[in-house]
Amino acid sequence: MMRVTRWSAGLIAAVAGGMVTVVTGLPAASAAHAPVASPAGALVEVVATIPVGDVPHGVAVDPRTRTIYSANEGSGTVSVISGRTNTVTATVAVGSGPDAVAVNPRSNTVYVANDGSDTVSVINGRTSTVVATVPVGSFPTAVAVNPRTNTVYVANDSSGSVSVISGRTNTVTATIHPGGGDPFDIAVNPRTNTVYLASLGTGNDRFPVLVINGQTNTVAATITLHDRDLLSGIAVNPRTNTVYAVSDFAHHVWVINANTNAVVARVSVGTQTFRVAADPHANTIYVTDPGSGTVSVLNGRTNAVVATVKVGSRPLGVTINPRAATAYVANSASNTVSVLRSCRHLAAATGPARCHRK
């Protein structure tokens, strides 16, 4: 198996693997429309830029405590940020190469995937201290949490597996070998107890999204996206039961109806895409573009790009606090986190004139 180099090294390589099922039926590609956000009348605006550790990759938010966590791969730390003041309140040392982070808001627990030490660091969100270190597979690149079942899922790229961790015991309870190539990103729909895995595929033109039943830990379906580049990110909107997968240099966002596992749209976004996040309240989707240093915002109802926002240098991870209508973006080359506030919040705060575009 070929190992994927990290984005701090500037390149992602393709890999080989297996495949389970194919779902086809792609409609005509959606036309991209990307108006650039402006200070007067912007749909989404950068309201703060927060210095963090070296080479921030992943970012996550606890909407209940309004706390943001930045996984800083270069410094082996997690920056803890107050969403009320947009300042770093603590810095937590974790494993080697923290690549991704996820939060269980019900337990106020943070999980950090360390790709250099093949572990997951468990952080108590109340005390900002590491309470456990869980060994997982080789080169974990992504982590996701189902807060309803208190279960953590870790995508292990080099071992082609998913580690399933009990949030109650902080132990691995199952290891899934789904096939379909090396997993690179992972997302969970807590309402349906379904896990979605973005795989690096089996070769050119075959990059699958693997659908895993969270109750049985088995692959329920494979959605093969015939694209010319690697899948680098995945997210789900649990309210609409829609999955969004992004392909790297092909800069596509694939829109999948999770009720039928059918692709319903493919949207061209920016020059390069890496990670994606969905706001279930506003039904908007945020996509990072490391090549242009921007974030594209899509309308989840129309699948149209409604804003493009300039952030820091080489943005990678993105997360959303739907309660605050705020997104957070990890800028890996400028060692910052950008805070983006949406039209919905700005309208309440500063008047509807700032949100005149639809």
CATH number at residue 120: 2.130.10.10
Q: Does residue 1 form part of some domain?
A: no
Nearest by Cα to 62 from 54, 73, 50, 70: 70
Distance separating alpha carbons of residues 352 and 140, to the nearest angstrom: 43
Distance separating alpha carbons of residues 6 and 316, to the nearest angstrom: 11
Q: Are residue 213 and residue 122 in the same domain, yes or no? A: yes
Q: Are residue 105 and residue 41 in the same domain, yes or no? A: no
Q: Are residue 289 and residue 165 in the same domain, yes or no? A: no
C-alpha 279: how far from chain center: 12
Q: What is the per-residue pLDDT for 247?
A: 86
Domain boundary residue among 283, 318, 342?
Answer: 283
Q: Are residue 14 and residue 152 in the same domain, yes or no? A: yes
Which residue(s) pair with 183 in the sheet?
Answer: 199
Q: Are residue 196 and residue 248 in the same domain, yes or no? A: yes
Domain boundary residue among 235, 266, 283?
Answer: 283
Q: What is the per-residue pLDDT for 179?
A: 85
115 φ/ψ angles, rounded to the nearest 5 degrees:
-75, -20
Q: Are residue 72 and residue 198 in the same domain, yes or no? A: yes
Distance separating alpha carbons of residues 84 and 169, to the nearest angstrom: 32
Q: Are residue 356 and residue 231 in the same domain, yes or no? A: no
Q: Are residue 236 and residue 299 in the same domain, yes or no? A: no
Distance separating alpha carbons of residues 304 and 125, to the nearest angstrom: 36
Q: What is the per-residue pLDDT for 42?
A: 53
- 347 is in which domain, residue-wise? 32-52+284-358
Segments in the chain below pLDDT 50: 1-41, 346-358
Q: What is the per-residue pLDDT for 201?
A: 67
Q: Are residue 182 and residue 199 in the same domain, yes or no? A: yes
For 196, how many CA atoms within 13 A lie in the half-sphere containing its CB?
29
Q: Are residue 266 and residue 325 in the same domain, yes or no? A: no
Q: Are residue 48 and residue 73 in the same domain, yes or no? A: no
Strand order of the β-sheet with 304-310 is 276-279, 284-289, 294-299, 304-310
Q: What is the per-residue pLDDT for 8?
A: 40
Nearest by Cα to 218 from 156, 263, 175: 175
